[in-house]
Amino acid sequence: MTAIGVQAQRLGGPKRPRHSFFESFIRTLIIVCAALAVVLSSVSICDGHWLLADNHLFGLWHFCTLTNHSEPRCLRDLSQAHVPGLAIGLGVARSVAALAVVAAIFGLEFLMVSQMCEDIRSWRKWAIGSFLLLVAFILSSGGLLSFVALLRNHVTLTSFTLMFWCEFTASFLFFLNAISGLHINSLTQPWYQLRGTAATTRKCDASETYPAW
């Protein structure tokens, strides 16, 4: 087989059809929603004020006492809230929530990079990105549940602030995008496996040395 024959074999190999409009739209929507979730979670954690109950504002970073005729009195010493284990518990909650944002950012990067080309590596990058979003959901949910568990004696449905609901929405979006990303990737997996096998065969064939006739 000549070099021209090897090149012709490469060009004649199976080619992936272009993404359909619906598939491209779904992948773009997943990336946009993941980016929105990162922004919501970041703003929520930076603000940190998640619970307002009995003139007390509980946050990840501060504990504030509210009065009618003066500015809120905020303390970084969370032990002043007189809630057992609050200082350590909220330290763990904000650390876990921050790690969720980090995992989501890396996952978002993998999702975006995977759309730069169409090969077996792009499928793997999309799978890694979706898995990292799932990790972000687990960490974010852990932070939310830790916060609620620590302040369970002060929690009512109307006591949660807007920032808490932003974090809750971000956690839900992490889960939704992760599951959607893994599902849409599983639908394209058979082609990529075939493509990878064919590419490996062609690579092995191309690496062999043939005499030129």
CB 74 within 8 Å of CB 61? no
The pLDDT value given to residue 21:
75
* 147 or 53, higher pLDDT: 147
The pLDDT value given to residue 200:
41
The pLDDT value given to residue 205:
42
Q: What is the DSSP letter of 48?
A: -
Q: Which two tokens stand for residue 66?
A: 């509210």
Distance CA 22, CA 126 (A): 17
CB 37 within 8 Å of CB 45? no
What residues pair up with 73 in beta bridges, in sequence order? 65
The side-by-side arrangement of strands in the sheet containing 49-53 is 49-53, 56-59, 63-65, 73-75
Distance CA 14, CA 188 (A): 15
Q: Is residue 56 part of a domain?
A: no
pLDDT band of residue 69 (cuts 50, 70, 90) is: low
Distance CA 11, CA 25 (A): 29
The pLDDT value given to residue 70:
65
The pLDDT value given to residue 199:
46
Q: Is residue 93 part of a domain?
A: yes
Q: Is residue 169 part of a domain?
A: yes
* Range name among 8-22, 121-135, 153-167 with the lowest pLDDT average: 8-22
Amino acid, single-letter form, for residue 74 = C
Q: Is residue 1 part of a domain?
A: no
Q: What is the mean pLDDT of residues 168-172?
A: 95
Q: What is the mean pLDDT of the chain?
A: 79
Q: What is the DSSP letter of 169?
A: H
Q: What share of the chain is helix, strand, coil (3-state, %, to 5)?
A: 70, 10, 25
pLDDT band of residue 140 (cuts 50, 70, 90) is: very high
Q: Is residue 109 part of a domain?
A: yes
Distance CA 35, CA 105 (A): 8
Q: Is residue 170 part of a domain?
A: yes
Range of the domain at 175: 20-49+85-192
Tens digit of each residue's pLDDT (9 = 90 or more) over 20-63: 778 888 999 999 999 999 999 999 999 888 888 877 888 888 88
Q: Are strands 63-65 and 56-59 parallel, antiparallel or unpaired?
A: antiparallel
Q: Is residue 101 part of a domain?
A: yes
Q: How far is CA 74 from the centre of its chain?
A: 32
Query: How many residues appear in the chain?
Result: 213
Q: Is residue 208 part of a domain?
A: no
User: Which domain CATH number covers 114?
Assistant: 1.20.140
The pLDDT value given to residue 193:
53
Please give the tally of structural domains in the chain. 1
Phi then psi for residue 53, to 5 deg, are: -150, 130
Q: Which two tokens stand for residue 149?
A: 């568990």
* 46 or 2, higher pLDDT: 46
CB 123 within 8 Å of CB 190? no
The pLDDT value given to residue 189:
63
